[in-house]
Amino acid sequence: MGKNSDVRAAVEAELGFDPLVDSSDITVVDIGGHVNLTGTVPGYPQYLQAAAAARRVAGVLTVDNNLEVVLPDGGYRDDVKLATAANNALAGNVTVPDSVEAVAGDGNITLTGTVSYGAERAAAEAAVAGLAGVRNVRNEIDISYAIDPVDVDLHVQQALGRSALVPDGSDVTADTRDGIITLTGHVRTWAEHDAVLAAALMARGAIDVHDDLQVTG
């Protein structure tokens, strides 16, 4: 069995093993560690969880999630009710500022508003992702804060230095321009990758994070 087949089989096994994923309609394609997921899942949390499961597998370098959420019969919610549930979830999350709002259309939630941290933006998306009737979440929240790019770079590098998941001597660097942090360098695992990304998202005033990290496996 070739290396590609090994990775594909391992991803398929991990999807089947994960109790939060219904993998019956998921197809896995692997080309040199670059995994593509296609097919359908019955809910948005499973859409996210399937990609997370694939990234846990050794040898996976990237995951292209092309899964489609097809809600089961009775799974759709009226747009007004879904929007109300989404806004209630946002209001009930202490991390999400009052400026963030949600609208819904055909199961698709769009988030708008302004926050100061990438972590707040991510928290808003997480707050609505698990609601019944959600097919997709479009995060259009703006991050607005006066920042010094040098300070942001320094704070991110210091956060990486404190992280237990990022080894000493890591070549990961953060460069900030116009509020956008670009991460470059190499990480060994997706857990290390996610730790680096989380550190960057916590930088105050960062508008977005461009992920140019390479997972070496």
Residues 6+ apart with CB under 8 A from 118: 143, 200, 201, 202, 203, 206, 208, 209
Token pair for 52:
């997370």
Which of 129, 27, 34, 37 is closest to 86 using CA atoms? 129
pLDDT reported for residue 146: 61
Reply yes or no on whether the pLDDT at 195 is more than 90.
no
Task: Confirm if 137 and 112 have CB atoms less than 8 A apart.
Answer: no
CATH code of 126's domain: 3.30.1340
Alpha-carbon torsion, ordered 92, 97, 100, 101, to 10 deg: 30
Task: Confirm if 13 and 41 have CB atoms less than 8 A apart.
Answer: no
Q: Based on the fold, state whether residues 49 and 64 are members of the same structural domain.
A: yes
Q: Based on the fold, state whether residues 44 and 59 are members of the same structural domain.
A: yes
pLDDT reported for residue 5: 65
Query: What value does the mean pLDDT take over residues 55-73?
Result: 92
Q: By residue range, what is the domain housing residue 120?
A: 79-143
CA 137, 185, 145, 91 torsion-angle sign: positive
CB atoms within 10 A of CB 102: 23
- Is residue 74 a part of any domain in this protein? no
Residues 6+ apart with CB under 8 A from 57: 7, 10, 11, 14
> CA–CA separation, 107 vs 84, rounded Å?
13
Q: Based on the fold, state whether residues 131 and 164 are members of the same structural domain.
A: no
Average pLDDT, the chain: 88
The string of DSSP codes covering 97-120 is -TT-EEEEETTEEEEE-EESBHHH
Domain boundary among 143, 168, 191: 143
pLDDT reported for residue 1: 43
> CA–CA separation, 104 vs 138, rounded Å?
10
Task: Confirm if 115 and 101 have CB atoms less than 8 A apart.
Answer: no
CATH code of 25's domain: 3.30.1340.30
Looking at the 3D structure of the chain, how many domains does it have?
3
pLDDT reported for residue 173: 86
Q: Which of 29-33, 37-41, 213-217 has the lowest mean pLDDT?
A: 213-217
Q: How confident is the model at residue 92 (pLDDT cuts 50, 70, 90)?
A: very high
pLDDT reported for residue 145: 65
Domain boundary among 143, 158, 177: 143
Q: Based on the fold, state whether residues 85 and 129 are members of the same structural domain.
A: yes
Task: Confirm if 135 and 108 have CB atoms less than 8 A apart.
Answer: yes
* pLDDT per position as a tens digit, 34-54: 999 999 999 999 999 999 999
* pLDDT per position as a tens digit, 126-181: 999 999 999 999 999 988 766 666 677 777 778 778 887 788 888 888 888 777 88
Residues 6+ apart with CB under 8 A from 150: 176
- Is residue 45 a part of any domain in this protein? yes
Q: Based on the fold, state whether residues 83 and 34 are members of the same structural domain.
A: no
Pairing of strands 34-41, 208-215: unpaired
pLDDT reported for residue 150: 65
